[in-house]
Amino acid sequence: MNIDRLVFAFAGCFILLSVLLSVYHNQNWLWFTGFVGLNLFQAAFTGFCPLAKILKAVGVTPGEAFK
């Protein structure tokens, strides 16, 4: 799996987890959902993603989006 797919998988898991936590625990978890969405939005325009930098440093194969 390359960096692009891992970033999307992590973001999707974090969004689903935070929505579930907001429903069953506390609504303040929706702030985390917004943070993940905002980070994805800015990464679409700037190409900068902290998780992509970490995965690249670990040695995961780069994809096309985050070089």
Place of tokens 């898991």: 13
* pTM (two decimals): 0.82
| Host domain of residue 37 | 3-57
Is 63 contained in some domain? Answer: no
Is 65 contained in some domain? Answer: no
Nearest to 53 by CA among 13, 1, 3, 2: 3
Model pLDDT for residues 33-54, shown as the tens digit of each residue: 999 999 999 998 998 999 999 9
The gap between the terminal CA atoms of the chain, to the nearest Å, is 15
Is 20 contained in some domain? Answer: yes
pLDDT for the residue 63 = 82
Is 39 contained in some domain? Answer: yes
Is 25 contained in some domain? Answer: yes
Is 31 contained in some domain? Answer: yes
E strand segments, the chain: none
Is 64 contained in some domain? Answer: no
CA distance 42 to 47: 8
H/E stretch holding 39? helix 30-46
Assigned token pair, 54: 């970490």
- In total, how many domains does the chain have? 1
